[in-house]
Amino acid sequence: MDLIRIALLRSLATLGRGKILWEMFWPLLAAGLVWIAALALAWEPLTAWLAGWFDASPDGAQAGMLAMAGFFALKVLLVLGVLPLMYVTLLVIVGIWVMPRVVALVGREEYADLELRHGGNFARSLWNTLSASGLFLVGFLVSMIFWWIPGAALVLPWLLTAWLNKRTFSYDCLMEHADAEELRALEAREGGTFFWLGAIGAALAYVPLLNLFAPALTGLLFVHAGLEALRRLRLERGAWIVEMDLPKGKR
């Protein structure tokens, strides 16, 4: 929890300095343009298809009210389906384009003592982001089966988004600074912390206005948490090595 507190406080301080605000804002513009265009092109054909499907139903004349209710429900489900896709679009933009820039900026200004060991690579990051996004969307669709349970429509997407954040950002925030062994060690050591950090980011998606910037803000939280965790790991290992090199009488 100490790592989470540090990540929150340092992220606020980073945002307060203003240099990084554009990186928080432009993914929203890009994703917004993509989805405005997609909805403009697809909305009329989809709703026309749904209306035609109900009109063609053999029971349409006898159950007009029921058909209209079903039509409205399907339109609501269509909108609900767009929301996770919009989040994934933002996350992919942040993971591929924003995170490297944020890691470089924050790392240079606040973690300059950390050597760059390049244990990760872009191809692995891209695969990690896309595969996690695909699993998230499948999980989201499956979770809708359980939405009739009170609270499930809030809790299940929140948990899925927490997992997605953790899976994506815990790698991206460390791949430039940590070596391959450190990446594995930090995943084993801080996996629980990273999940709860992802859960905080997922909770931002439920807050009006903040939800528009949730993936970018979550990425910033992971940068601070990941680099601080790496700093602590190296300090601990450095202290152990120094101790082992000392003569017995001086330990």
Domain count, the chain: 1
Note the pLDDT tens digit of each residue in 3-44.
999 999 999 999 987 778 788 878 877 877 877 777 777 666
Q: How many CB atoms lie within 10 A of CB 243?
A: 10
Q: What is the CB neighbour count within 10 angstroms for residue 235?
A: 11
Residue 251: pLDDT band by 50, 70, 90 thresholds? very low
- 45 located within any domain: no
Query: 217: which residues sit within 8 A by CB, 6+ positions away?
Result: 11, 24, 201, 204, 210
The count of residues in the chain is 251
- Find the domain containing 6 and state its range: 2-20+85-240
Residue 38, in any domain of the structure: no
Rg value, the chain, Cα: 23
Q: Is residue 56 part of a domain?
A: no
Q: Does the pLDDT value for residue 61 go beyond 90? A: no
Minimum mean pLDDT range among 188-192, 205-209, 234-238: 205-209
To the nearest whole number, what is the mean pLDDT of the chain?
83
Residue 65 inside a domain? The answer is: no
Determine how many CB atoms are found less than 10 A away from the CB of residue 202: 22
What value does the mean pLDDT take over residues 164-192? 96
What pTM was estimated for this model as a whole? Answer: 0.81
Say yes or no to pLDDT of 241 above 50: no
Q: What is the pLDDT of residue 59?
A: 54
Position 209 scores a pLDDT of 81
pLDDT, tens only, 100-147: 999 999 999 999 999 999 999 999 999 999 999 999 999 998 998 998
Collapsing DSSP to helix, strand or coil, 55 comes out as: helix
Q: Is residue 72 part of a domain?
A: no
Answer yes or no: is 6 within a domain: yes
Residue tagged 């790496």 (tokens): 230
Distance CA 30, CA 101 (A): 16
> For residue 4, with 0-12 CB atoms within 10 Å meaning exposed, 13-18 middle and 19 or more buried, which class applies?
middle
* 150 belongs to a structural domain: yes
Q: What is the pLDDT of residue 169?
A: 97
Structure tokens at 148: 């009739």
Task: Read off the pLDDT band of 1 (50, 70, 90).
Answer: confident
Above 60 in pLDDT, residue 62?
A: no
How far apart CA 238 and CA 240 sit, in angstroms, is 5
Instruction: Provide CB contacts within 8 A for 205, sequence distance 6+.
Output: 87, 158, 161, 211, 214
Look at residue 28 and tell me if it is in a domain. Answer: no
Question: Mean per-residue pLDDT for 167-189?
Answer: 96
Q: Which amino acid is at 187?
A: E
